[in-house]
Structure 1
């Protein structure tokens, strides 16, 4: 009996040793790779009827796969697509060419490690901070026409926004809103949306210092002129206007929504004295 117990003890010890070695081996095995992923909404431009998503997937080798998945594309059409520098409101040169979107499937898939200059490496983390946007074009023969677009990286919107009323002043029937959208990088997309404007007209717009009640105040920030056909204007705001002798100062979304200012939208570049619409912003806005 004692001999059998002794043998059993030896076998048990050996088994435990094997289990212990197995556990040690498992501890040294790297966990399976789980890459990060980020998606952005691609919104239609004009009345193209094309929209969808742009998804960035991190790969184990450090490359990034960018997938465009669009609805509303047409069979037999290939839609060129690119990542550009800057925000969509500013416009910029092509940073990275993507595979064209196949109109039959609405899909484009591109795996990247470098920008088009073949010198600048680009990682998933770099793209998440990138100062850029995506354009999808109507065709290789019609690059002027955009069908879908989105800001990416640092230019993506956080979901925070504040809107201000722009009231009619000297031009009958023109009024609307100014909406400030916060970007991931702390900058601001300023959207002016007016009703009553006329195709063929262009309306200069500015953020002024002070309030409407204390006008006129100096121009602090020049905005993109409102297009009379659409009534829209989009401006990326990161700094105040500079002068011949001095650069502007950095201004964030948080600065703007607390700013002591107001917006003027003018009748035209030749008639700045006539105001189409006007409204207080930031600290001067009336809380409803």
Structure 2
């Protein structure tokens, strides 16, 4: 019995040590992941995802996984500053997408300036967007694009009708989309515009019935070929002496204003389309 008791004590001691050892072992690292949809630009037919994976050393692995890429081609890719609607300089150069596989994988811990570190948390709040280009010799042509970080849309939106005014057949909608950072993507979509024309557009103060009102926010001119305009709105227009006032999505959908779309830069007196927005819009 003595011998059995000694063996039992030793066994229990081993179990106890094993339990203590297990308690001191750190759990395996489980990094965070964020995924963004990359949409096709124009008629490229290229789309897919951009996945950000947090690594244990603090770096981030960015994987682009695209369909519709060109076999034998290499598609340069970059993270840019600002939203896609605004455009901006390159912040981070990514590995080109291999046209054969549609894959690009880049591990980053710094911006291209080689001075500014970038973490997973920084990237998912980043004021940026991703461009994927046709080729190194044709960077002007984009095949896929997406906003990232704070510029991602929340899913909240509000649309307003833009009615025909002085230019026959031109009408459409203005849609305000909320971003994660509280800013707004303003999309004008018009029917009846013609290729070769550009139509200046503005948000004015007051209602259509009280027009003319002062310009509050200058929007990107509507392209006549596509009938489209995209503008990122974060503030009202400033002046030479004063910066504009910060304006959020919530501010805009309650704004006392209206939108004018003009015939051309040379003919601002002729209105192509117009509509009340915010507090002045008619509830349907």
The answer to whether the superposition gives a TM-score over 0.5 is yes
* Aligned pair partner of 2:175 in 149, 173, 179: 179
Q: Which runs of 5+ in 2 are unaligned?
A: none
Residue number in structure 1 paired with 2:88: 92
Q: What CA deviation, in whole Å up to 9, does each residue of 1:231-285 have, x standing for no partner?
A: 0000000000112232111001111111111111111111111111111111111
- Of 26, 31, 34 in structure 2, the residue corresponding to residue 30 of structure 1 is 26
Q: Give me the CA root mean square deviation.
A: 1.3
* Shift in Å, 1:13: 4.4
Residue 172 of structure 1 deviates from its aligned partner by 0.6
Whole-angstrom distance in 2 between the partners of 1:10 and 1:260: 87
In the other structure, the counterpart of 1:267 is 263
State the number of aligned residues: 284
Within-5 A mapping of 1:10-159: 11-159=7-155
Match of 2:194 in 1: 198
Report the TM-score, using the length of structure 1 for normalisation: 0.95
- Structure with bigger gyration radius: 1
User: C-alpha offsets along residues 198-237 of structure 1, whole Å, 9 cap, x if unaligned?
Assistant: 1111100011111112211111100000000110000000
The answer to whether 1:232 aligns with 2:228 is: yes
Structure 1 residue matching 2:243: 3-state secondary structure: coil
Moved >6 Å (runs of 4+)? none
